[in-house]
Amino acid sequence: MPLYMDIHRNMVGLTDEAVVAAHQKDLEVQHKYGVRYMSYWYDKELGKVFCLVDAPSKEAAAAVHREAHGNVADEIFEVKQGE
Amino acid sequence: MPLYMDIHRNMVGLTDEAVVAAHQKDLEVQHKYGVRYMSYWYDKELGKVFCLVDAPSKEAAAAVHREAHGNVADEIFEVKQGE
């Protein structure tokens, strides 16, 4: 399956609890779309979140975020992981 | 040590070989700055590279890229890794 990195920008007022809760919701929903959210990194101060996700398509990755919590990424890139 | 995610944009004409070679140069140089480039992901088509790096500061992370191959990131964020 393709691997994607998405970026959420301008997540104002981000807290650890909110990020963890949103990711948990992704994990609960993702099986419906054949998606696997693998890892994520976030910068609370600047309101950025990066998600690494294995998904059949960009649209499927986005559908999980949309259903889980509504925070769809601003950008998503199909990536290869470096060796 | 803080963890950072950097983003390189507009890496026109990116090839697998060039990315691997640049990362290898980072690995050779990083000990001088107390930095550890951990993982990276790239989108050849859109010319994006994301590097995850453990570094004492943003400046130290950038110094490694500058000395190793000159391709300094366009953005760098201090991140927490999600659980």
**Going residue by residue through chain A (83 aa), what tens digit of pLDDT does each one get?**
999 999 999 998 999 999 999 999 999 999 999 999 999 999 999 999 999 999 999 999 999 999 999 999 999 999 999 97
Which residue in A36, A49, A50 has the most chain B C-beta atoms within 10 A of its own C-beta, making it the best mutation to test that interface? A50
Q: Is the Cα dihedral B59, B51, B29, B2 positive or negative?
A: positive
Q: How many CA atoms lie within 13 A of A28 on its CB side?
A: 10
Token couple for B29: 């140089």
B27: left (phi over 0), alpha (psi -120 to 50) or beta: alpha
Cβ atoms of A81 and A8 within 8 Å: the answer is no
Q: Count A/B contacts: CB-CB distance under 8 Å.
A: 64
The reported pTM is: 0.95
**Predicted confidence (pLDDT) per residue in B8-52, tens digit:** 999 989 999 999 999 999 999 999 999 999 999 999 999 999 999
Write out chain B residues lying below 8 Å of A27, CB-based: none
Best residue in B23, B24, B50 for a mutation probing chain A (most A CBs within 10 Å): B50
Give me the percent of chain A exceeding a pLDDT of 90.
98
Backbone φ and ψ for A61, nearest 5 degrees, come out as -60, -45
Q: Is the pLDDT of residue B1 over 80?
A: yes
The distance from CA A5 to its chain's CA centroid, rounded to whole angstroms, is 8
